[in-house]
Structure 1
Amino acid sequence: MNQTEGSPEPAEDTTVLVVDDAPASRYAIGAVLRRAGHQVVPAASAGEALIELDTRQRAGALPDVALVDIGLPDMSGYDLCRRIKEVPLTAGIPVVHFSAKPVGPGDRTRGLDAGADAYFTVPAEPEEIQAVVRAAVRGARFRTTAEAKAGRLSLLAEAVLAVQAARCPQELATAAAAGAARISGGPAVAFVSGPDGELMVGTSRRRASTALPDTSAAEEVVRLSERLMAGRSGVQSTVVPSPMWPPGYFRAGQSESARLMVACGSDTRPPVCVAVPTYAVGAGGAGDESGRLLGRLVHAAALAAEPLLMYEVERNIALTLQHSFLPKRLPEMPGTDVMVRYVPASRHTEIGGDFYAAIATPDGVLVGVGDVVGHSLDAATVMVEIRHALRAYCVDESDPRVLVERLDRMLQRYHPQATATVCLALIEPATGRTRIANAGHIPPLIIGDGDARYCGASGPLLGVGLDHPEPTELKITKDERLLMVTDGLIETRGIDLGVSMEHLRQVTAEASADLGALCDTLLSCFGHERADDIALLALRLTEEPGSPA
């Protein structure tokens, strides 16, 4: 069809459903639309139109617009419009009502209220019919585009929240890969370097984590990312042809070209890299919509990596500090056998202030465990000070109550914002006499042959300045074991501590008499992926105690 100057551009190839029970009218409207380049699907009734829509819905080829006569034989055009709009998959089809009979404003209002987009009266000029169809299709496509863009922005927002919620570099890599996969609609992989140079690789669910390329391939990707960022800032993007991209990152055993998005949180940090196959974003990369959204995601991931990497450095310092002051092997304690264990919290949680101590004094063996309230490098530092202060006080004092009171005053003076729990026990190996002072801590367990009981010692925690009661006295035998733990071993969010303590008592009652086996059993039973540090100390007498003097 020739176009005259000033006429509208030819309509894009669209499909129009024409629903009219009058054959002549249906033919005339169809002819006008076909001349304008549209494909026409005729229907003589509402029922026939609904069957046609259902068939095309299953085939994924719904019409772009529906022209519906108001006066259909089986139901009104208004009701047909409502039926179309009630189904989610067809609700986006614009509906244009028409009628050969004169109608008033009320009839037009009924059509709009039913969900229709426009109305015209037949006979109508071909230009009017074509213009109405173009406008309806243009509006529907605009809405579809806007909805799709809003959906992609929603996916980006969810992905950014996920990377910001990551608790460690590995979680960050996994979250970045999962977000990139949702945005691009294909597989994705992300690379994040840890503070010690360890490389974290995250893959999306669209790509199984098994049979990934080896470490050297990942290191090559990082080197490529570093070269891409050299002397640059912001988000950098490039296409890596399949011969240069390690096969297997997107689909097992297959070599594919990759779109690489790279960003750095600062000049001193390694880059964060996200890669997707080029078919998922197109060759335009950052120039297309998906590429721009992926760029924003990788930038957010790079910013999120900054505090995570700083925290990992702090955590490693705190762990080094704790391990240096909590030796795995203790000095020989006359008349006793002492076994200790220390397990830091799960990698994605903060470092705590748990500690243990075993000190030989003129009055016997002093053992204890404690926990500084809080999770940070500060908590670990206060833990070290408490442990040093305890050793210093034991030079001329071994009474557990006196030691607890001195530690209390030390905290109030030098760390007024800090609090801690501690349990100390002074054991006379020759007699088995045991004196226990407990400052807000889980009381020790006395474990016998097939039985275990808490000693019942209690008192206020350190740092609050309250009076501490006299030590609890008891006597242990060679067949019994003294167990002291920090709450990190058993405390679980949502479970009453009393329930967890009873579970611990039952497990220890049935555990091996060997101290090492006892500690290993407890860690095996309770110590997986804990949110807090764990300190254990187990003691038994090596000689049968005699009668008190």
Structure 2
Amino acid sequence: MPPTTILVVDDNEANRFAVGAVLRRDGHHVVEAEDGSGALRALSDPARLPDLALLDVRLPDMSGFDVCSRIKSVPATADIPVVHISAAATELTDHCHGLNAGADAYLFSPVLPEQLLATVRAALRRTWGSRQATLRATEAMRAYDEERRLAQLLQRSLLPGFETLPPVAGLELSVGYRPRCDVVQIGGDFYTAVQTDERVCVAIGDVAGHSWTASRVMVDLWHAVRVYSLEGHSPDEILRRLDRLLTRLHDGYTATMLIAHIDPARGRMELASAGHLPPLLCRGEDGTAGYLDVEGPLLGLEMHRPEPTEAKLDAGDRLLMFTDGLIEQRGVDLTHSMERLSRAAARAADGELDAMRDRLLSSYDTQSNDDDAAVLLLRLA
């Protein structure tokens, strides 16, 4: 226990001397006051507050009970332990009155030095224990807030618009992100687009969990999918490589991902999924909308992966890729939510791509949604 300062309040100088001597021999610094007013003055400087107050009950200007009440009523001094010592107020009612007024202990005088020191140490231990617990909780909260802030900044840096993507002849892209309703936890959603010689690789994913470590997993997957795309791997091979990467670098974490390789000139797509919700294809010719049959196990399980799914993309067609936070709602069946999204996308498919994105992101009640949502839309001209 660190060195402590103890305020001794007693109108009897001999008592102050005797109690102070015992405390000083035990290593405490002692501050004395002869009445209630002097005690309150000693407690008025926040920079020089005592660690404990020993109060006589019968003081010349006010009772020790009143001084204790004043100490406990002020936030700056409320956690200072108070021990009453009295040779006059020795009835059980006095004892109860003192404790009810906020005192931490009540001693009858004369008191043995061993009893006085044991009571002082016990009161200080309780206070220091509480202060240390509060300090640890405060530090933990600060660390959590800083970790969450950095992870959120990191995630936002991986969710840009596509202003920096080189123009792709015949293909239009639009993306959007909606944070979870309480904005307390870190989201795991991400998306990216990479242009190769003749194709565009678009990917959307979601790492399980909401933590700083999960955000690091998200960063690794984001960079890796871009590298593997530039190396020319097929969508299913990219997922196999990401699967191995995840199990070796972040064992125990899982993620979903949907990858599409698009050849705008030929209107062809190859798609592969790792446990992700299927993409929605809105046909420009007749306005119908339907989900493509793209399946596969989660990343992080190292399970067999099927061959990629091929699909035709005609002029005016729109492909919607999204994370589950867009449609999942508490108490609502996922199948029903997917059907609702299909109808909403079909109705919005005749406008601008950005307007369609905004309409879909705002079409669900965020107050009943426990997750963030990312959307990636593309249209073949």
Normalised by the size of structure 2, how large is the TM-score?
0.63
- Indicate if the aligned counterparts of 1:412 and 1:465 stay in contact, CA closer than 8 A: yes
Secondary structure, aligned partner of 2:362? helix
Secondary structure, aligned partner of 1:412? helix
In the alignment, which of 334, 344, 356 is matched to residue 168 of structure 2?
334
Q: CA deviation at 1:491?
A: 1.5
C-alpha distance after superposition, 1:394-426 (max 9, x if no partner): 222241111111111111111111111000011
Partner of 1:319: 152
In the alignment, which of 341, 344, 349 is matched to residue 507 of structure 1?
344
Partner of 2:320: 483
In the alignment, which of 427, 432, 441 is matched to residue 267 of structure 2?
432
Hey, what's the Cα distance between the residues in 2 that align with 1:309 and 1:233?
A: 28
Normalised by the size of structure 1, how large is the TM-score?
0.44
Q: CA deviation at 1:532?
A: 1.8
C-alpha distance after superposition, 1:492-536 (max 9, x if no partner): 233222222122112111114311111111121126244222111
**1:408–1:287 distance in 2 versus 1, CA, 3 Å:** same
User: Which range moves more in the overlay, 385-394 or 447-456?
Assistant: 447-456
Hey, what's the Cα distance between the residues in 2 that align with 1:343 and 1:229?
A: 46
Hey, what's the Cα distance between the residues in 2 that align with 1:404 and 1:503?
A: 29
In the alignment, which of 359, 371, 376 is matched to residue 532 of structure 1?
371
Question: How many residue pairs are counted as aligned between the two chains?
Answer: 266
Hey, what's the Cα distance between the residues in 2 that align with 1:337 and 1:416?
A: 37
**1:233–1:431 distance in 2 versus 1, CA, 3 Å:** farther
1:435-474 → structure 2 map (5 Å cutoff): 435-448=270-283, 449-474=286-311
Hey, what's the Cα distance between the residues in 1 that align with 2:78 and 2:325?
A: 36
Q: CA RMSD in A?
A: 3.2
1:91-490 → structure 2 map (5 Å cutoff): 230=47, 261=75, 288=101, 307-330=140-163, 331-335=165-169, 336-448=171-283, 449-490=286-327
Hey, what's the Cα distance between the residues in 2 that align with 1:456 and 1:228?
A: 73
* Sequence identity (%): 42
**1:343–1:288 distance in 2 versus 1, CA, 3 Å:** farther
- Indicate if the aligned counterparts of 1:234 and 1:264 stay in contact, CA closer than 8 A: no
- Indicate if the aligned counterparts of 1:425 and 1:435 stay in contact, CA closer than 8 A: yes
**1:465–1:517 distance in 2 versus 1, CA, 3 Å:** same
C-alpha distance after superposition, 1:4-49 (max 9, x if no partner): xxxxxxxxxxxxxxxxxxxxxxxxxxxxxxxxxxxxxxxxxxxxxx
Hey, what's the Cα distance between the residues in 2 that align with 1:263 and 1:346?
A: 39
Secondary structure, aligned partner of 1:484? strand
Hey, what's the Cα distance between the residues in 2 that align with 1:540 and 1:311?
A: 41
Amino acid at match of 1:432: G
Partner of 2:355: 517
Secondary structure, aligned partner of 2:230? coil
- The structure whose Rg is larger is 1
Amino acid at match of 2:75: M
C-alpha distance after superposition, 1:58-94 (max 9, x if no partner): xxxxxxxxxxxxxxxxxxxxxxxxxxxxxxxxxxxxx
Hey, what's the Cα distance between the residues in 1 that align with 2:78 and 2:250?
A: 38
Partner of 1:223: none
Higher relative contact order (CA 8 A, sep 6+): 2
Hey, what's the Cα distance between the residues in 2 that align with 1:482 and 1:383?
A: 23
Secondary structure, aligned partner of 1:413? helix
Structure 2 residue runs without a partner (length 5+): 1-43, 53-72, 80-98, 103-129
Secondary structure, aligned partner of 2:348? coil
Hey, what's the Cα distance between the residues in 1 that align with 2:78 and 2:306?
A: 57
Partner of 2:332: 495
